[in-house]
A = this chain, B = another copy of it.
Amino acid sequence: MVGGGEGAFIGAVHRIAARLDDRYELVAGAFSSDAGTSQRSGQALGLDPQRVYADYAAMARQEAARPDGIEAVSIVTPNHLHAPVARAFLEAGIHVICDKPVTTTVEDARMLQALARKQGLLFAVTHNYSAYPMVRQAQQMVREGQLGELRVVQVEYAQDWLAEPLEQDGQKQAAWRTDPAKSGGGAIGDIGTHAWQLADTIVGRPVQALAADLASLVPGRAVDDNVQVLLRYQGGARGMLWASQVAIGHANGLRIRVIGSAGGIDWCQEQPDELLYTPLGEATRILRRGTASAGAAAARLSRIPGGHPEGYLEAFASLYSEIAAHLLARRGGGNAPSDAQFPTIDDGLRAVQFIETVQASARAGGSWITVPH
């Protein structure tokens, strides 16, 4: 692991996620560029002090040189460090699991894409919401045509943790996430990209054009904290995306509705075990993970029976386990498993392209811009 030392949030999440299904063992880390902090973090995690590093480049080199060196690295640093860290490990021949957005520029993402291809290495991006069982159910329903021709995609990601200028009070998370140099964007990069990727996972077709309005609604904030985007999908569906970090009353309100000519679905991350499904002209059905009302795609990622809630950590763990299935296949030289899916550097690149297009539209006063592909 690189990043995720004391005071970090997402590092601990990745560690639980990797451990939950017993498919990974954490054996080395560069948890902080401060040597003392990194060592303390490593010690708290029970690691061999020899394998706790302050310098990620050293870690990449030394682990690559060990006979029992790491097989994959998990990168959980602030966004602007993803690219150099990932590059170092790819160059050392180590698979990469990287937090999102994968980079802060399209250019960097392209570089990593090319490098991963050249090295023949796996590159996963932890757009974790795509691994919820009922998101996979939704994806399967769209693919199988249960919704008919897609017409409308409404996605939103509303939070309220930045409703006040926390970054001015020294809160660490708030500080780097609202620093354009470290985050590559505000709400659009942090959560707008999750919303886009969730929609992308389910609808399976690209956004052709968009018009976006970015705002910094908290006085003094250096990045956007509210994003509103109109979307036109390939094939004619229309969409809206709203991402906000100032939406008082919303904790982690990621929600998507996809409506076609034959049915509509509705999923909220805060009640992830349920998917509302309305076939045209019939009653709405509450499809539930872990019951007969959910199909094979959801069942694959389900651990316990319906009514025993699985949540955020389980979905994150599922993403790690999907990646593990591919890592194992590669270890044995076998074929990639056909059903285990995860967002790759290709998806990560497209996410960064989405961010840049939104930012370009906003700079142009909210004009419509074609999304590159």
Residues of chain A whose beta carbon lies under 8 Å from any beta carbon of chain B: 9, 12-13, 15-16, 19-22, 45-46, 151-152, 154, 156, 159-161, 163-164, 211, 213, 215, 217-218, 226, 228, 230, 232, 236, 238-240, 242, 244, 246-253, 257, 259-266, 269-273, 276-288, 290-293, 303-314, 365-368
Task: Give Cα A280 to B213, complex, Å.
Answer: 24
- Further contacts, 4 of them, CB under 8 A, given A164-B280, A244-B259, A308-B313: A20-B20, A217-B238, A230-B230, A249-B277
Known: A19-B20, A240-B242, A249-B266. A313 touches B310 (CB 8 A): yes
Q: Smallest Cβ distance from A191 to chain B, in angstroms?
A: 11
Q: Smallest Cβ distance from A162 to chain B, in angstroms?
A: 12
Q: Are A280 and B163 in contact (CB under 8 A)?
A: yes
Q: Are A154 and B242 in contact (CB under 8 A)?
A: yes
Q: Are B307 and A246 in contact (CB under 8 A)?
A: no
Known: A164-B280, A217-B236. A244 touches B152 (CB 8 A): yes
Known: A249-B276, A291-B251. A240 touches B228 (CB 8 A): yes
Q: Contact partner of A285 among B45, B230, B261, B284, CB < 8 A?
A: B284
Q: Smallest Cβ distance from A9 to chain B, in angstroms?
A: 8
Contacts of A252 in B (CB 8 A): 305-308
Q: Are B230 and A211 in contact (CB under 8 A)?
A: yes
Task: Give Cα A215 to B237, complex, Å.
Answer: 9
Q: Can you list 14 A-B pairs with a CB-CB distance of less than 8 A? A: A13-B304, A19-B20, A20-B20, A159-B307, A211-B230, A249-B263, A251-B308, A269-B307, A271-B309, A277-B283, A283-B293, A286-B286, A304-B313, A311-B314
Contacts of A13 in B (CB 8 A): 304
Contacts of A228 in B (CB 8 A): 230, 238-240
Contacts of A163 in B (CB 8 A): 261, 280
Q: Are B249 and A278 in contact (CB under 8 A)?
A: yes
Known: A240-B240, A249-B259. A308 touches B312 (CB 8 A): yes
Contacts of A16 in B (CB 8 A): 20-21, 303
Task: Give Cα A312 to B290, complex, Å.
Answer: 13
Task: Give Cα A281 to B276, complex, Å.
Answer: 17
Q: Smallest Cβ distance from A128 to chain B, in angstroms?
A: 10
Give A12's nearest chain B residue, CB to CB.
Answer: B303
Q: Which among A228, A244, A367 has the greatest number of chain B C-beta atoms within 10 A?
A: A228
Known: A266-B249, A308-B312. A213 touches B232 (CB 8 A): yes
Q: Are B152 and A226 in contact (CB under 8 A)?
A: yes
Q: Smallest Cβ distance from A330 to chain B, in angstroms?
A: 20
Q: Are A151 and B19 in contact (CB under 8 A)?
A: no
Known: A152-B247, A211-B211, A280-B248. A310 touches B307 (CB 8 A): no
Task: Give Cα A34 to B50, complex, Å.
Answer: 43
Give A368's nearest chain B residue, CB to CB.
Answer: B366
Task: Give Cα A330 to B106, complex, Å.
Answer: 55
Known: A217-B152, A228-B238, A313-B304. A248 touches B260 (CB 8 A): yes
Q: Are A283 and B281 in contact (CB under 8 A)?
A: no
Q: Contact partner of A312 among B215, B247, B265, B310, CB < 8 A?
A: B310
Q: Smallest Cβ distance from A263 to chain B, in angstroms?
A: 6
